[in-house]
Chains A and B, each alone.
Chain A
Amino acid sequence: MLDVIEAPTETQFEFITFSAGNQSFCLEITQIREIRRWTPVTKLPHTPDDVLGVMNLRGAVIPIFDLAARFGLGTTPDNERNVVIVAAAGGTTIGLLVESVSEILSVDKSAIQETPDIKSEAARQAILGVISVGENMVRVVNLDAVLDNDMGTAG
């Protein structure tokens, strides 16, 4: 706590950034429950490719999604550095497979820009906004959209 230089005020948001499908994404820290190493999951029959299966999280059965595949960026290749971000939205807990987690980002609300006016409706749904960090653009993931049905095959 003492390391935080600026005490977060009400307009201050903290995000965890990660990469999936070679793009930078982030999720608000309050939505994240934990970050785990990738362990093999139990596959589910009759599910789209981006649903990897279910995992035992201390007795709860939670589904694991491949975030890159979910956003139509191709499946995440097997890698030892892959991690699962366990996030909660509403009453649902899910796991997201991403390539790697990078850092904690503390930004002012004003630094979050609206999603640029792009054509793809699906992409606009999936991204709440963007934050620019140096040269990079970090996309704020809309967790509800990840949970939403129609995202599965949308590109």
Chain B
Amino acid sequence: MSTNSIRDTFFEECEELLEALVEGLSAMEENAEDMDVVNAVFRAVHSIKGGAGAFALDRLVSFAHTFETVMDKVRSHELKVDEELMLLFHRSGDQLADLVEAARDDREPNAESEATILKELEAHLGDADREEAFSFDAVTLDFDAAPMPIDLPEPEPTLRRFDIRFHPTPMLYANGHEPLLLFDALAELGTLTVQADLSHLPEFDAFDPNDAVIDWQLSLETSEDETVLHEIFEFVDALCDLEISVRDEDAPAPMPPEESPAPPEAAEPVTETAAPVVAKTTEPPEAKTPPKQSAPRDEPRGPRPTLRVDLERVDRLINTVGELIINQAMISQRIEELELPAVAHLTNELEAYKLLARDIQEGVMAIRAQPVKPLFQRMSRIVREASEATGKKAKLVTVGDSTEVDKTVIERLADPLTHMVRNAVDHGLEPPAKREDAGKDPVGAIRLSASHRSGSVFIEIADDGAGLNRARILEKAIEKGLVSPEAELSEQEIDNLLFLPGFSTAAEVSNLSGRGVGMDVVKNAVAALGGRVSIASVPGSGTTFTIVLPLTLAVMDGFVISISDQTMVIPIASIIETIRPNRKDLHCIGTDGQVISVRGSYVPIVDVARNLGLSGGETTTGSGVLLLVSTESQGLTALRVGAIHDQRQVVIKSLESNYGAIPGVSAATILGDGKIALILDPDELVKLNPAAPFLPLASTPRLELRHA
């Protein structure tokens, strides 16, 4: 393991810790008295500090330290959590996230906001604490002197005995940890007895030098509390089975209030280990009695065990499973071609194979799926910042944040979602005074919800603001020349004007939204993921944006269509409806332009074969099928194709990896017969001008050579 990969791991862990931090903070908002939550927040900050110390990220350490110290005062009930302090905690959390990010990218963090928050945090600390802060810093980094500031206010140090069972896994040694050093650290806390449990030692022949076979039973007499012990094992936590139990002999169990990480657990093992207490020193095998209930000791509400896997491996697996699906389709097709007499067995097995293949695929896809929670959590910061900048009060409500979506979708959704949430606060909500006049809660609510519905993911961003001001939208659109003044638009159509490029409603450009990035960018980003955005708005009670996304990017539902003599696939998501045209609905415009009237409005027809430069297009009126699609460049368009054969799930294969981008084609797929079918991109397709033949040399490079 190089330093770099350890560093990477640290930042990965930071992400998780920050997530836990944000989660904890919002839980604190509900109930600041819940010590478990406060402890969780404290632990998150503390772990970040610990890791940052190891990489000499001094700024991060000192900020985390101040944050932690204030947190600690809350823990010890010295500070009362009020709304103002909560806000400060949130901002500190944000700042911590910024510092982590800055450290990761080797950037200079924003010193100004850091200083402001530091000052505010310090304002909550007494003078004494601040002095302590300095000595404490050195302590953590040096590791050998142990007193934590939390222990200082404790007047009488009570000696307590801890029983520690320590069972390292082979990974602990593989990662270069040395139990002796851990024991040394423990020994410095008090009187330590160490007993090795050799009962798992195998026969010499079966001995594997890479295995970890020795357990240790330790007994420590110290005045420190359990947290300190856990801190020593902090870095090997995941690599060993650790049980720490306390035996209160002299003290009649006076648990100091601030160190209650797991009081119920602490009590339970006392009875557990009651027997071994006597036998401990003489009969080490006894230590085997409480064997299996060890791991979740420290974290009663900890995460379920997970596995970090290289994304590339997962993708390779997904690829192979894609092949399996294609292969299954091919076998089915071949067997059909054989025209065997009805063999029930074969059909049954084949059906089972199909189901299994689909199961495997869904399972593999689930690996890539991640809950939207971290994404939603990030939005709470956006809401906070936006409400601060606009002087409006807003809170974020999230629903269904355990909904799982493909990792890539989550990554690529971050920007559009940020934009929409910002918009919701900036444009959606009214100022507090206005809200009160309207009889609403002065604090506006932004509701972010995610759900799975019929094979798609629905994400809604709703505000309870004033709703869209349709008159103003129309006025603005006319002013910008986006629609003609005579146009009669339905409410729906007016709402959709928001998605037009070059549209921005805010009367004055605030520094928040309206920096030239409009809803059209959002729409494009969502469309690039194969999804759609829609708006619903009720005057006086708010606006809801709904994003509908496919569950995965690796497979797609498509119509198998024929164009000229080729088989192609068009994504179902892009198709609004299919039309078998009536001759009387078709009208010619100019020499070869054609339109079709769809419920009173005229929609241009684009001949797919002709735009792709394929001969024998279905140009004669009346033949073929029309697919109504909504495109960015020219709105509603009817695509003329030869015929629709089938609707099926296809595995998406990139064309660009070995060739290059082809206009009008987004990717390729492999059909049941092993042939490749191109997947059409309706938006690009209508932009192609058949009159001017495509010049490969004048276009963007067709081939991207990827030399190592």
Residues on A facing B (Cβ under 8 Å): 41-48, 54-56, 58-63, 89-94, 144, 147-150, 152-153
Which listed residue (A42, A46, A59, A62) contacts B319, Cβ 8 A? A59
Which listed residue (A44, A62, A149) contacts B665, Cβ 8 A? A44
> Could you give 11 example pairs across A and B, Cβ below 8 Å?
A42-B677, A44-B662, A46-B612, A46-B693, A47-B696, A54-B668, A59-B319, A59-B326, A91-B707, A144-B705, A149-B697
* A42 adjacent to B678 (CB under 8 Å): yes
Cβ of A138 to closest chain B Cβ, rounded Å: 25
Is the C-beta of B198 less than 8 angstroms from some C-beta in chain A? no
* B566 adjacent to A61 (CB under 8 Å): no
* A54 adjacent to B655 (CB under 8 Å): yes
* A61 adjacent to B653 (CB under 8 Å): yes
Residue-wise interface mask of B (647-661) relative to A, using a CB-CB cutoff of 8 A (1 in contact, 0 not): 000000111011100
Which listed residue (B322, B658, B665) contacts A94, Cβ 8 A? B658
* A60 adjacent to B658 (CB under 8 Å): yes
* B655 adjacent to A61 (CB under 8 Å): yes
Q: Which of chain B's residues have a CB closer than 8 A to the CB of A63?
A: 658-659
Which listed residue (B323, B668, B702) contacts A61, Cβ 8 A? B668
The CA of A44 and the CA of B677, in the complex, are separated in Å by 10
The CA of A112 and the CA of B657, in the complex, are separated in Å by 33
The CA of A47 and the CA of B659, in the complex, are separated in Å by 11
* A47 adjacent to B701 (CB under 8 Å): no
Residue-wise interface mask of B (278-298) relative to A, using a CB-CB cutoff of 8 A (1 in contact, 0 not): 000000000000000000000
Which listed residue (B653, B664, B670, B706) contacts A45, Cβ 8 A? B664
Question: In the complex, which of the residues A45, A48, A61 has the most CB atoms of chain B within 10 Å of its own CB atom?
Answer: A45
* A61 adjacent to B676 (CB under 8 Å): yes
* A147 adjacent to B703 (CB under 8 Å): yes
The CA of A150 and the CA of B662, in the complex, are separated in Å by 17
The CA of A57 and the CA of B160, in the complex, are separated in Å by 70
Cβ of B522 to closest chain A Cβ, rounded Å: 30
Which listed residue (B323, B612, B613, B696) contacts A59, Cβ 8 A? B323
Is the C-beta of B675 less than 8 angstroms from some C-beta in chain A? yes
Cβ of A46 to closest chain B Cβ, rounded Å: 4
Is the C-beta of B674 less than 8 angstroms from some C-beta in chain A? yes
Closest-by-CB residue of A relative to B694 is A46
The CA of A2 and the CA of B701, in the complex, are separated in Å by 46
Which listed residue (B322, B653, B668, B697) contacts A150, Cβ 8 A? B697
Which listed residue (A45, A55, A92, A152) contacts B705, Cβ 8 A? A92
Is the C-beta of B663 less than 8 angstroms from some C-beta in chain A? yes
- Tell me the total A-B contact number using a CB cutoff of 8 A: 97
* B668 adjacent to A59 (CB under 8 Å): no
Cβ of A34 to closest chain B Cβ, rounded Å: 15
The CA of A44 and the CA of B678, in the complex, are separated in Å by 8
* B676 adjacent to A91 (CB under 8 Å): no
* B675 adjacent to A90 (CB under 8 Å): no
Known: A54-B655, A92-B705, A149-B701. A46 touches B663 (CB 8 A): yes
The CA of A92 and the CA of B677, in the complex, are separated in Å by 20
Is the C-beta of B708 less than 8 angstroms from some C-beta in chain A? yes
Interface residue count for B (Cβ, 8 Å)? 37
Q: Which of chain A's residues have a CB closer than 8 A to the CB of B708?
A: 90-91
Which listed residue (B612, B670, B696) contacts A56, Cβ 8 A? B670
Is the C-beta of B517 less than 8 angstroms from some C-beta in chain A? no
10 shortest interchain CB distances as A-B pairs? A45-B612, A46-B694, A91-B706, A90-B707, A42-B676, A63-B659, A59-B323, A61-B653, A61-B668, A62-B658
Residue-wise interface mask of B (686-708) relative to A, using a CB-CB cutoff of 8 A (1 in contact, 0 not): 00100001101100011101111
* B676 adjacent to A92 (CB under 8 Å): no
* A147 adjacent to B705 (CB under 8 Å): yes
Cβ of B36 to closest chain A Cβ, rounded Å: 50
The CA of A93 and the CA of B664, in the complex, are separated in Å by 23
The CA of A90 and the CA of B677, in the complex, are separated in Å by 26
* A152 adjacent to B659 (CB under 8 Å): no
Is the C-beta of B145 less than 8 angstroms from some C-beta in chain A? no
Cβ of B170 to closest chain A Cβ, rounded Å: 37
Q: Which of chain B's residues have a CB closer than 8 A to the CB of A46?
A: 612-613, 662-664, 688, 693-694, 696
The CA of A45 and the CA of B680, in the complex, are separated in Å by 11
Is the C-beta of B576 less than 8 angstroms from some C-beta in chain A? no
Residue-wise interface mask of B (623-660) relative to A, using a CB-CB cutoff of 8 A (1 in contact, 0 not): 00000000000000000000000000000011101110
Cβ of B279 to closest chain A Cβ, rounded Å: 62
Q: Which of chain A's residues have a CB closer than 8 A to the CB of B150?
A: none
Which listed residue (A43, A45, A54, A90) contacts B659, Cβ 8 A? A54
Is the C-beta of B115 less than 8 angstroms from some C-beta in chain A? no
Q: Which of chain B's residues have a CB closer than 8 A to the CB of A61?
A: 653-655, 657-659, 668, 670, 676
Interface residues of B in 110-132 (CB under 8 A from A): none
Known: A61-B676, A147-B703. A48 touches B662 (CB 8 A): no
Is the C-beta of B614 less than 8 angstroms from some C-beta in chain A? yes
Known: A45-B662, A59-B323, A61-B668. A149 touches B703 (CB 8 A): yes
Cβ of B679 to closest chain A Cβ, rounded Å: 11
* A56 adjacent to B676 (CB under 8 Å): yes
The CA of A63 and the CA of B657, in the complex, are separated in Å by 10
Cβ of A154 to closest chain B Cβ, rounded Å: 10
Interface residues of B in 371-405 (CB under 8 A from A): none
Q: Which of chain B's residues have a CB closer than 8 A to the CB of A90?
A: 705-708
Cβ of B669 to closest chain A Cβ, rounded Å: 9
Cβ of A97 to closest chain B Cβ, rounded Å: 15
The CA of A153 and the CA of B613, in the complex, are separated in Å by 19
Q: Which of chain B's residues have a CB closer than 8 A to the CB of A92?
A: 657-658, 703, 705-706
Q: Which of chain B's residues have a CB closer than 8 A to the CB of A43?
A: 566, 614
Q: Which of chain A's residues have a CB closer than 8 A to the CB of B674?
A: 56
Q: Which of chain A's residues have a CB closer than 8 A to the CB of B668?
A: 42, 54, 61
Cβ of B84 to closest chain A Cβ, rounded Å: 56
